[in-house]
Structure 1
Amino acid sequence: MAGKQISQQRPPVKPEQINDLVRSTEQDFSNIVSAMNSRMNFAQEALYAYQAMLGNSYLASVAMNNKASFALAMQQIASSGLTLNPAMGLAYLVPREGKVIADISYRGLMKIATDSRAVDLVVACSVYSRDTFSFNGANDEPIHVYDPFLAKHDRGEFRGVYVKAYLSIGKLLVHPVSAEDVYAARQLSSAWTNSDPTKKKGPWDTHFDSMAIKTGIKIARKYWPMTSPALDNVISYLNEEGGEGFVGGAVTLETASREMHGPSSATQTNVVNLHDGVVYDIDHNPVGQPQADASPVGDSHFAQMDQPRNQGPIRTEGEVGAGSAPRDVNETLIRRIDQVHDRSMRTGAWQSAFDWASAQLKGDLLERANKKFRKGQSEYLAKQKVPA
């Protein structure tokens, strides 16, 4: 047995090998960030990736032996717009079944939802049998009374989770997810169903509450406005490549890769001020974790929209690949500016239009959008006979 264990051990990965591996992902990472008009910084994320592998020899070994999965994980980080900064607790590089996975925490899913302006605030909470819970419909606040200082086992059996999403138009969407549905999602996890007693059961075993919250967000997301494919792409990646298994849509890894690179690529409650206006559903054709959720604050988890930034890949009539000309991207954004302008002319939601431009554009395109929106707003107010 001892000889077998020794034979299975891999030689330690040297720091320079880790550095070379991380640097090899720079071009694809930068292409995605450029196409998305994102604020992600490769040098910063490369440092976090390097530190993660330097501090986890098993992660480094898996990355070296499956470089394709590491490259895909870094691409996913670029596409999601979530930093690997461990202090933020949004995304992590983790080894899972011989692959490196960009593991997105429930906090990360919430942030993508708010950054992409699908919702302004997300609140998710677990419910146990000794809690007092009353569901008042999909558009009214539920009543949930419990002692947050009790240990989980003292609150009784797990009953499910509920997710509250506050929309920018002032509406509330409440979606309850039963324990039965959560357990069904867990049963689809390859780690949980592994019968090998020498292997761990994964995050469902070590961080059940966080994974239940994460599952609830995945399910509730289907009922939120579609503003960007970013959230769905991340969920598909986690379900398929990450082995979390709770599939929300028929999106393969090959499809996700094309989304990022184009066809040429290889295969505590808080107070919130809701923004005026509407959610812009520009794109109508979008396509459990170890440490990421290890330290929730109580049982109620929330994410509020902070500094907005573009989180989804820019898509053209074909698909924007790494070698696409900037002109194609500009033409796509110009069409989107026109769409946002036309929507605001119908709804009067001009503040949302300006917010969208500030979050999605820069340089000449931002100036173009603001000029068009200011003119449109004046025309709209004139038609409404309201002083500009």
Structure 2
Amino acid sequence: MDRRRGDARRPRGARRPPRERPRDARAVRAAAPRRRARRLPRRAPVAPRLAAPRRAAPALPRRGPRRAVRQRVRRAHPTPAARRGGALTVLPHHPSGPVAGSTRVPRSGTTPAPGTSAPGGRQVSFGAVPPTADEIRRALGPAPVRRSRVPALLTTGALLVAVALGVSWWARTYGPAARPPAGVEEIRTPLSAPPLVPAGSGAYAFLQTQDDGSSPVAWSPCRPIHWVLRPSGAPDGGDALLAAAFADVAAATGLTFVADGPTDEAPADERDVYQPDRYGRRWAPVLVAWSDPGEHAALAGTVAGSAGGTSVTADGYAVYVSGQLVLDAPQIADLLTSPNGSAVARAVVTHELAHVVGLAHVDDPGQLMHPTADVRQVALGPGDREGLALLGAGRCAPHL
């Protein structure tokens, strides 16, 4: 057979004859079978991947909860100018006199509505020329009729309490050097809560209100109220009267009172609210003093006590920071020796301490804040308790 055609098998070991190679590459490409190139299917053009834009935060509403919170924070904290040492307006108060920024004691026939301050009052700006005695007398009108002696009043069952007209307490302005560091002993939450008292229980009035005309000026419930006692001239049983009165007012307001001990400070109509040499770098504590008409003119006649608080206004909000309570020791001593006199004497001290925390007189004889003490009304009335509960729910004052 023909070996060139491969019709017969080559013997084992025989070499394969070499193939004839084309002389150029073109002939190779022409001789080789053509293969179609594999084409990929066409795809839609892919856009470059970019990071998704972050959503912009929605704008805060002009009015709403966040704005209200900012406003509350703005009210609770002073402005930078105030923190740098702006002047604070101090408004001393007296429960029975025309005090700048406060009110006069209501007289007969002028019962204020519950929750309102007593009508009347005169405001004198700082630096004004003090008025004369005649001008004060004309501004106040006729003085209330006073009874002569305490023993005679006891026989009729009544005792006139704190109706003296204090006319010497005027508005003063304290600069940066005349106030303590802000927030001494202040915490973020109230030390205690006032009791729940139903609204509309009875008549009550405040010595001073805020600019809104309804919210009372009160002590900060987030710090204790310190008080000192000048014990000279105290009657027998005077300490027990004070302890009972402070316990009654503390229970009715939820405020915390701390006794700092004795002092030799004498009462004064224009008592300084900041005395660092005597009491350290803090607001002066409430002064409780036993006195007599010879030392303290406000106790003249049948007045058994005189008391009030001193408020400091900063950033448009007023807060009581100090106060004074002066008791007529001879009259209280006579009361303690009379039948049922201890209950009446305790009512007198509680009445005056209620002035210190911010309550004013009312014309309702069923309330302890009636200006005339009665042996039949020797405890806090329902209106007294409602007003004291509101005074115990004041705002914290870390900026003072």
TM-score in terms of structure 1 length: 0.21
TM-score in terms of structure 2 length: 0.21
- Structure with greater contact order relative to length (CA < 8 Å, sep ≥ 6): 2
Higher fraction of helix: 1
